[in-house]
Structure formats: C-alpha cells, structure tokens
Chains A and B, each alone.
Chain A
Amino acid sequence: MSLTDVTTWEITKKQYRYKLKSYFGVFSSLVAIQLLAILFSLNGTGMSGGSSGTFSYDVNYYTGDIIQVLVMIWAFITAIIITTKAYRYDDYSFVTNRLISHYSNILFLFSASILAGIMVFFTGHLFRLITILLKNTDSIMVSELTLLGTLKGITASILYIFLCASIGYFVGILIQLNRLFSFLLPVLFVGALFVDGMNNDPTVFPSIISFFGSENFLFLFILKIIMASALFYILAISFSNRMEVRP
C-alpha cells in the first residue's frame, strides 16, 4: 500500500473543522455566561443624585462592562479546558501531531474569540433594551454610536478576549505538564498582587493594565495584543512539544 504525504496546513484545517464541530459545548457555555452577565448588570454600575429645593434627580449608569469581563473569564477557562487530557486525546484518534494540535486549538480559540466579541456587542445592546423596558426612567441618555466606533469597539473586545484565551492556554499547558502549577499559579498571582500593593502604591499591575488598556492608537493596540498572545502560545508550544500521548 503506497504511503500518502500530507502537509501540516492541510491537516490543521481538518483538525480545526473537527474542533468547531466537536467543541460545541464551549459555545453553549458562552451563551449561558452572557445571560448571567445581563442579570448581574441589571443593578447598574453607578448612581448619583442631587436636589435643590423642590427639585431632585437621580442618575443611574448602566454599562455592558460586566459582560465583557465575564466573557474574558470564559475565554480563559475555555482555553484551560481544551488543554486537558480529554480534549488532547481526542485529536490523536485521527491524524495529527503536537504542533497541529496546537495550531488548530489556536485557530479554534481565535474563532471563538471573534464570535464572543461580536456577541458581547449585541448582548450589550440587548441589555440596554432590557433596562429601558424594566426600569422606571424618565429620560435615557446613550453614548453615540458611529460605525467606526462600533468596529473599533468590537475589535478591541475580540482582542481582549483572545489575549485572555492565550493566557489560559499557557496556564493550561503548564498545569498539564505538572499538576503542581494548578496550586502554584494562583498562589503566585495572588501573592504578587499583595506584594505589589504592600506600600499602598501598586505599580506593576496597574502599569500592565494600562499598557493594554489605555492605548489610544488602534494599530499599536492590535500589535501589542497580538505580540503578547503570540508569546504565550509560543511558550505553550515549546514547553509541550515532548509531551506523550496517553502514557
């Protein structure tokens, strides 16, 4: 029987298609998490008010930020889940190698991030509609929506989600390499938060957040996120290349 030659890209596409079908549960959890986020957001994020004589007013702020944050956590957890044995072994029932497994996972996470980012945008609007219907309001002020602004917003949302997924993927691979990391990483993270804020002047974490969070120039922002996620994926790939299958 003659041997067939296949290319990495060819099999990556097939694995990716297989994953879109077989990781379906990931998407149902995405919907569930967004419904939960709407519920959490209904209380509003801020409130102010005032009065003068017989005149008084209350201002309530409602934003979809919680939705974005919860979806970012969802991406982090999803990425960890697809590095677990149950998911890794599924790949090997068909043609693959370690690199293709990673490539198709990254492609999958990227598509899931795109879908999640678009959904966050729509859920944000759904949530505003719900508040209008539910809350007793006299007047509503919304920030203006331009097409360009919307596209920028969605892009940023997608990239933040993707960044979280890449961190989750890296963490997941570390945990797969050694169980100790599942205990060590949270300890290190929380510990670092404490150490950073010890003299009431945290510097490291705020500067990391503002590095990704307050970039006004879109192109630079995209570059930052892509570089950071690429770094996490490259680390994950190089750490796991000698991993055995079903040992």
Chain B
Amino acid sequence: MKVVECKELTKRYGKAKAINNLSFELTENKITGLIGRNGAGKTTLLKMIAGYLHHTSGDIQVFSENPFNNLKVSANSIFIDNGMSFSPSLTLEELLETSGEFYPNWDQRLAKRLFDYFSFNPLQSHVNLSKGMKSTFNMIIGLAARCPLTIFDEPTSGMDAGTRKDFYRALLKDYIAHPRTIILSSHLLSEVEDILEEILLIKNGEKLLHMPIEILKEYSIGISGKATAVSEWTSNKETIFTQSIGVDGSYVVIKNDCSLRDLEIARDIGLEVSSVSAEDVCTYLTSKTKEGIDHVFN
C-alpha cells in the first residue's frame, strides 16, 4: 500500500519555491530517511505530509487522501519536531496520559518506561525542559503513539551523543516489534544510515535520489592520483565532486557506471579507486558547487 504519494508537488512561499516539482512514493512499513542540507525543504515537505501546510500545485496523497486539515490523516499520523507545543498547565505525566487518550495504539507501558529511563520528573512542565530534554520527550510521544505514519523532523537536535544513540536504538527496536511507516529527516546521514531502508535526498526542493540505502552505498566511486591522469581518465564520465590534494594530486568522485575494464585501466595508470560512503555521496551531491567550500577561497 502506498502511504505517501506526491506528484509534481510544489510549494511556493511568495516567489521562492520551497518544494519544486517533487514526485515520489513511500510504501508501507519502511523507514525512509529524508536527507538534505539546511533550507532544502525537508520541514516544508514533512509539514505538507502531516497536513499542516497547503501545497501550491501538484498533488499529495497520504493514505490516499489529501492530508490538509484531514482528520483521518491526523489520527493515523504523528509529526514530531522541536516546535511541538504543549500546554504549560499540564505536567509531563498528564501530557503522556492525554496522548494516550488521543492515539488508539498508544503504549503507556513503553511511554512510562522510556520516561523513567531518561529520568524525567513527572511533575515538571514541558516549557521548562531544556532543548535536548524537549526533543527526548517529544520522541517518547512519537514512539509510544505507534501511529501508522510516524514523522520525525530532525528529532535529535539538542540531544547529547548518548541520548541520540539510545533514541535510534529505541526507534529500531520498536519498529521491528511494531512495523510502521517512519520518515526521519536529518542532515547527518552517517548517524541514521544504519537504521534506514530507503533514502530520499532533496536539494533546493527538488528530488536528487530516492533509492534503497544499499544501492546508494555503491552509487559512486572515488578516484585519486595525479591531477592530469585523473582529469584525463574522468573526462568522459559524470563527475560529482572534485578536490585538489597537495601540489599536483586530485580526488574525483564519479557515478559508478564504468566497466571493469575502465577500472583496470585506471589502476594501470596509477590511479587509486576507493569506495565512497553514503554520507559523502550525499554531501557531494547536495553541495553548492562541484569544488565545495574550497572554491570560495580560490
């Protein structure tokens, strides 16, 4: 079943396009990572999926319905980000109980155990929590609600390293026990790549890639060696990233579509072929220019 389906989706703020002609589908019970740089349109896209924002043109369907202002979508999805606001007159414990009333699949036992594990004070108010603690509390609600569509928008912002690890582990464990569709946005792919099944990479509101994470790991290769040799060998290939190393060295990342024979030639002329991690591929693909930040200083 398709949980989220977007066709030529566009969202405009004034004249600027936050989301531009985006088409993709998310199927049931998968963890998808939404990866992009700051300002790529991740939050806008997620808010449209959650039914918070209108789209300007194109089509968006969640559970085969338009999500905006839609009760069915609201009841079956949860959107967790650090802008979630809760009434200051309720204590954290009361907030958990209230969530339990609203979400039919709510697991109070899990919520309570996570709550105790992260040593929250049940009588505290949400507004008095620190940024990291807020994120952690929101994450508990997101996990325990067990919504068929769970959306986390940069859930770990403000969390310390230990809490981040705990969060991803808790997410994975609960997902395995209760499979559901999860969308996780992040700008740090290295942190989440172990738990993702699919990755949706966006840049300036447009889709760059949407593929299983295993395929992304073999998406490109890195070539390093003498600058002249490298540029000659890569002249007819699609380069993703170029960096000069030392005096006359160079490192180029290309799309991994060359034949074995090509690679043999590369080795013969003294070039070094290396694999490129998923994180690096994403960084290179989403960078502003092919030379990266170095370009500014040249």
Contact, CB under 8 Å: B89 / A1: no
Q: Residue A95 contacts which of B90, B103, B146, B178 (CB distance < 8 angstroms)?
A: B103
Provide the residues of chain A in CB contact with B265, threshold 8 Å: none
Provide the residues of chain B in CB contact with A99, threshold 8 Å: 69
State the majority secondary structure of interface residues on A.
Answer: loop
Q: Residue A1 contacts which of B69, B86, B105 (CB distance < 8 angstroms)?
A: B105
In the complex, per-residue mask of B142-156: 1 if CB is within 8 Å of any chain A CB, else 0: 000011100000000
Provide the residues of chain B in CB contact with A95, threshold 8 Å: 71, 74-75, 102-103
Q: How far is the CA of A204 from the CA of B106 in the complex (A)?
A: 55
Give the total of B residues in contact with A, Cβ under 8 Å.
Answer: 36
Residue A216 interfacial (CB < 8 Å): no
State the majority secondary structure of interface residues on B.
Answer: loop
In B90-132, the 8 Å CB interface with A consists of: 90, 94, 98-99, 101-105
Residue A96 interfacial (CB < 8 Å): yes
What is the distance, in angstroms, from B79's C-beta to the closest C-beta of chain A? 8
Q: How far is the CA of A2 from the CA of B148 in the complex (A)?
A: 7
Contact, CB under 8 Å: B148 / A245: no
Q: Residue B85 contacts which of A6, A93, A96, A242 (CB distance < 8 angstroms)?
A: A93
In the complex, the chain B residue whose C-beta lies closest to that of A96 is B74
Q: How far is the CA of A161 from the CA of B87 in the complex (A)?
A: 25
In A8-24, the 8 Å CB interface with B consists of: 8, 11, 14, 17-18, 21-24
Contact, CB under 8 Å: A23 / B148: no
Provide the residues of chain A in CB contact with B90, threshold 8 Å: 21-22
The size class of the interface chain A forms with chain B is: 20 to 34
Contact, CB under 8 Å: B47 / A90: no
What is the distance, in angstroms, from A128's C-beta to the closest C-beta of chain B? 33
In the complex, the chain B residue whose C-beta lies closest to that of A15 is B102
Residue A25 interfacial (CB < 8 Å): yes
In A79-121, the 8 Å CB interface with B consists of: 86, 89-90, 92-100
Contact, CB under 8 Å: A86 / B94: no
Contact, CB under 8 Å: A18 / B98: yes
Provide the residues of chain A in CB contact with B98, threshold 8 Å: 18, 21, 94
Residue B70 interfacial (CB < 8 Å): yes
In B193-246, the 8 Å CB interface with A consists of: none
Residue B53 interfacial (CB < 8 Å): yes
In the complex, per-residue mask of B34-57: 1 if CB is within 8 Å of any chain A CB, else 0: 000000000000010001111000
A-B contacts, 29 of them at CB < 8 A, read A1-B29, A1-B146, A1-B147, A1-B148, A1-B179, A1-B180, A1-B181, A3-B72, A3-B148, A4-B104, A5-B75, A11-B102, A14-B102, A18-B87, A22-B90, A25-B89, A89-B83, A90-B85, A92-B52, A94-B102, A95-B74, A95-B102, A96-B71, A97-B51, A97-B70, A98-B69, A99-B69, A246-B52, A247-B53
Chain B interfacial positions (CB closer than 8 Å to A) = 29, 47, 51-54, 63, 69-72, 74-76, 83-87, 89-90, 94, 98-99, 101-105, 146-148, 178-181
